Chains A and B, each alone.
Chain A
């Protein structure tokens, strides 16, 4: 396997989060009853005239600028002809030779810890186009049902250079794209709903060989796992074919991510078969310097810049800063909480350990989590003020995650306030010391473990509410008397 080099290029389709479709005023909302978001324009009735949604251009230019592309001052749309029931016009309006954005690149970070490396992936182009309808297989009648709600929902297609060399790099690239698109708010990036998906172009060649091998295209992958597994599968398949003296056929393939196998769909039509020609119903797009400049100036802070700021301003380690900024929503949560409690390290720790763990276990996103940034900040303030111990705080955090309650209320309700009253603690310490003479003897004989045991007993007596610093201090004072 090491004798081969893998060449991968990704075509990523991102549905733009505009209110309306690309050429008509139908809503783009997901999940409605079939064929209820349709009109004569998006169902391709004869005699209708498409008119381009201005937000589509704006969003595509935003994405282009964020990915360091050159923005075309003159751009046009073209018809891509093919026959399939999900496309009622029998052509898709796309862009052929004059896309909106070209020649960009993004930096990705691959791997962890010592094996971590950075790499630049070239972006060939970003163009605008329309999505197709959805085909549903009717198991009962054996027919295919056509739902055109998604038909003409605006897309950008982001085409990478063949710079990707492994499944890990492909996933890192996709994660970076997702993060950028989320920050820009041009795509909701819900991969399970298909609003962000990709096609993988892949070929292999013997190391040292100059020309590329024949490539295949695996279509419509909509999870990071499917991307990773389909690439691993296809690399293995192609090498096996070549090693057995066979030839790779240029074809379109699908990947079944339940069975974890890929299969051929149809042999790829040549590019010419799409018979592209300029769309006569739509006017060219001519962008002024002012227009592009205005969008550039309004771009939000991008994840890699935010990461640097988290490191310099909050003194967070690189790993923490990277984890917190990968998702716009996590970063927002972090900043909101820190604005209230002003303890970046504590906020970061709570998010990265307890919150991420609970989100993972319950398979929910931070946006639908019951703990608000404000309540996390309050919890941290309760610890910082010494009202509760950090051990108790963990219990409270779990409860906040369950029911979204304010930590101050939970503390009051359950009487969890930390005991910091020295007299009360002294009483408790004396009681525990007199009940455990053996441990006292052990401690005096130099066995440090006895001290830990006694602290444990005191914490048990107080149900974890005693201030541990004071307990320690008192205990040592009394034992050393």
Chain B
């Protein structure tokens, strides 16, 4: 296996996912297959090739620093499952 169970657990934590033991087995195997497949690229000799910063041959796409009206607050908050005092309301963030 090119991906360990520990790694999958770690990725699950970062992704805020809770996995059952069964799921853990399945994802470890599936992710290993994906990584093995992608790893074929590692066999390509890239000596002397510049890293790709962008897949299109473009550069310097800028805009002018000119203010335009923002959206109405109602519009912005439309998708929020819960709101209060003009804000999106979320469960308490513990620090």
Contacts and interface: CB of A to CB of B under 8 A. Distances in A.
Interface residues of A, number: 52
A17 to B, nearest CB: 10
Contacts of B95: 254, 265-266
Nearest to A136: B87
B79 to A, nearest CB: 8
A33 B82 CA distance: 18
A141 B84 contact: yes
Given A38-B70, A51-B63, A76 B53 contact: yes
A283 B65 contact: no
Interface centre among A40, A74, A146, A282 (most CB of B within 10 A): A146
Contacts of B67: 19-20, 25-27
B68 interface: yes
Nearest to B80: A146
Interface in B69-95: 70-71, 73, 76-77, 82, 84-93, 95
A286 B60 contact: yes
A409 to B, nearest CB: 41
Contacts of B15: 83
Chain A CB within 10 Å, residue with most, of B65, B86, B95: B65
A137 B54 contact: no
B41 interface: no
B37 interface: no
Contacts, number: 130
Given A51-B61, A52-B63, A145 B76 contact: no
B40 interface: no
B93 A84 contact: yes
Contacts of B61: 51-52, 282-283
Interface string A137-149: 1100111111110
A323 interface: no
A135 B93 CA distance: 9
B66 interface: yes
Contact of A34 (B52, B58, B64, B86): B86
Interface string A270-287: 000101001010111110
Interface residues of B, number: 36
Of A35, A54, A142, A148, most buried by chain B (CB within 10 Å of CB) is A35
A94 interface: no
A27 B68 CA distance: 7
Main secondary structure of the interface of A (DSSP, over half): loop
A137 B92 contact: yes
Contact of B63 (A25, A135, A278): A25
B17 to A, nearest CB: 11
B88 A146 contact: yes
A474 B90 CA distance: 82
A37 interface: yes
A98 interface: yes
A279 B38 CA distance: 20
Most chain B Cβ neighbours within 10 Å, of A27, A76, A284: A284
Nearest to B87: A145
A312 interface: no
A266 B55 CA distance: 37
Nearest to A56: B65
A278 B58 CA distance: 14
A286 B90 CA distance: 40
Contacts of B91: 143-144
B66 A20 contact: yes
Contacts of B68: 20, 25-26
A18 interface: yes
Nearest to B50: A74
A344 interface: no
A55 interface: yes
Nearest to A26: B70
Nearest to A263: B95
Given A25-B68, A26-B70, A144-B91, A34 B63 contact: no
B62 A57 contact: yes
Interface in B27-65: 52-56, 58-65
Q: List the 7 closest pairs (A to B, CB-CB), nearest first.
A: A145-B87, A25-B68, A54-B62, A55-B65, A146-B88, A283-B61, A76-B53
9 contacts: A27-B67, A34-B86, A37-B70, A52-B61, A53-B65, A143-B90, A146-B90, A273-B14, A278-B52
Given A33-B73, A98-B53, A135-B93, 17 more contacts: A18-B65, A20-B68, A25-B68, A26-B68, A35-B73, A35-B87, A36-B70, A51-B63, A83-B16, A84-B93, A85-B88, A138-B85, A144-B92, A147-B87, A282-B61, A283-B54, A283-B56
Interface of B: 14-16, 52-56, 58-68, 70-71, 73, 76-77, 82, 84-93, 95
Interface of A: 18-20, 25-27, 33-40, 43, 51-55, 57, 74, 76, 81, 83-85, 98, 135-138, 141-148, 254, 265-266, 273, 275, 278, 280, 282-286
